[in-house]
Amino acid sequence: MVFYRCVSLLSRLRSHTQHRVQQQSNLSNSFRWIQTQTVSSDLDLHSQLKELIPEQQERLKKLKSEHGKVQLGNITVDMVLGGMRGMTGLLWQTSLLDPDEGIRFRGMSIPECQKLLPAAKPGGEPLPEGLLWLLLTGKVPTKEQVNALSKELRERASVPDYVFKAIDALPINAHPMTQFATGVMALQVQSEFQKAYENGIHKSKYWEPTYEDSLNLIARVPIVASYVYRRIYKDGKVIPMNDSLDYGGNFSHMLGFDSPEMQELMRLYVTIHSDHEGGNVSAHTGHLVASALSDPYLSFAAALNGLAGPLHGLANQTLKPNHISLVTAKAKMLEHSHISMQMGGKPRPAIREVLLWIKSVVKDCGENITTEQLKDYVWKTLNSGKVVPGFGHGVLRKTDPRYTCQREFALKHLPDDPMFQLVKNPWPNVDAHSGVLLNYYGLTEARYFTVLFGVSRSIGICSQLIWDRALGLPLERPKSVTMEWLENHCKKASEN
């Protein structure tokens, strides 16, 4: 308990006052913009967006003309060599990640979204359709608007047979993400943007066929994803869509899970995983590919391939030697390691890395390991040049709010589940809970978990892509340099 209190105190002390004031100011301005939008009873999302675009185009034009030369920070060699971490270089309207507060969707925190966005039932989890509306318009939708959007997405959710045939051409043991990305690429045949571009559409209208592609894509990926799941794990017995269910509820249903609690979990899961600003691999990849005027299908398929990489879902900080006291939390996990092993398969990378590490500890030290033995094993791991996965986040410096809302869900629905007891460590991230909740309700095929993440991320990536086209954002083309150039530059800098 003393350790956790110390962590909390140190986290508060290390926050820089000036940075926080600036961030709060930015968030407040964003939130004020949301609240001052004209309230409309219009149920058509396209019409609402069309009204907003001219104003935001002028906003961007003014920002560029009046402040285009304002510096946003200094670029260091460490940033260039370190994956551009900490380098501000992208415009991403739909969400902003604060290291201390976590993600905000159009200025709204996850608790605010849970409180204000419409739900399927009173006191329930937010509907993903509501978040889609919020990301695109900056407005909190009414229940009637969300119901209309949900109906529209169901009407758009028509997947041609050749998509399933393309997936069926793959071996059944192909990774679920390979099959999912293949299905998305097959959907590209029906791209409205590609047709419009080939017919000479004016660039000021690019956003409209992009909007059509994006909503079609968002509507169809749950069908493709559930087909992959049923093909691999359920003998190919496909479950059709239920016209009376919402987006998250239908996804759960098509996967084969009809309990009200699982449907609520899927609504929460899709909502909180939908967007995480633009610098992560999948979001940045989608934006980068789209900047070449590739259509949403091509762009999102590229994003999925980035999402499938072992380091994307991992997104954890290495356990440094001065964090060695964190091993007490690992000891807690090892007490129940036999439960973790039941998940089997190859889970989403973040979970997979944690489980592999735990398995290696159990193999070498046995299950009844002492804290001292575990401490020695952690040092052994670090001294071998490897990392200990499972703690923290690449950007966040406090508990991930996506973890917190899932923990609250678990406290409400499964407080005594033994797996739930495992996910307590000093800086838990979203992966600390996702697998536990899914496993509890029967979705135990952890190798498939990244596909769930991919379906969720379609909402955020496609929302921003529509705004990319509406704002006329250019081709992304940063400058690269060689090590020789860096050495010469640094030498000249030192001489001056």
Instruction: Kindly provide the residue ranges of all beta strands, DSSP E only, lying in 144-188, ordered along the sequence.
Output: none
Which of the following is catalytic: 400, 431, 433, 468? 431
CA-based nearest residue to 451, from 226, 265, 169, 217: 226
Backbone angles phi, psi at 108, to 5 degrees: -105, 130
CA dist., res. 109 & res. 86, Å (int): 22
Residues 409 and 35: their CA atoms lie apart, in Å, by 28
* Cα 448 to Cα 215: distance, rounded to the nearest angstrom: 24
Give me Rg for the CA atoms of the chain. 23
Count Cα neighbours of 235 within 13 Å in the Cβ-side half-sphere.
Answer: 1
Q: What is the 3-state secondary structure (H, E, C) of 184-208?
A: HHHHHHHCHHHHHHHCCCCHHHCHH
Q: Which of 393, 400, 433, 468 is catalytic?
A: 393
Tell me if residue 312 is catalytic. Answer: yes
The Cα–Cα gap between 268 and 276 comes to: 15
Rama region for 257: left / alpha / beta (φ>0; ψ in -120 to 50; rest): beta
Burial 279-300 (b: 16+ CB within 10 A, else e): bbbbbbbbbbbbbebbbbbbbb
- Annotated catalytic residue, options 312, 400, 433, 468: 312
Residue 423 CA to residue 333 CA, distance in Å, equals 8
44 is catalytic: no
431 is catalytic: yes
Q: Which of 295, 289, 280, 291 is nearest to 453 (CA)?
A: 280
CB 294 within 8 A of CB 300: no
Residues annotated as catalytic are 312, 393, 431
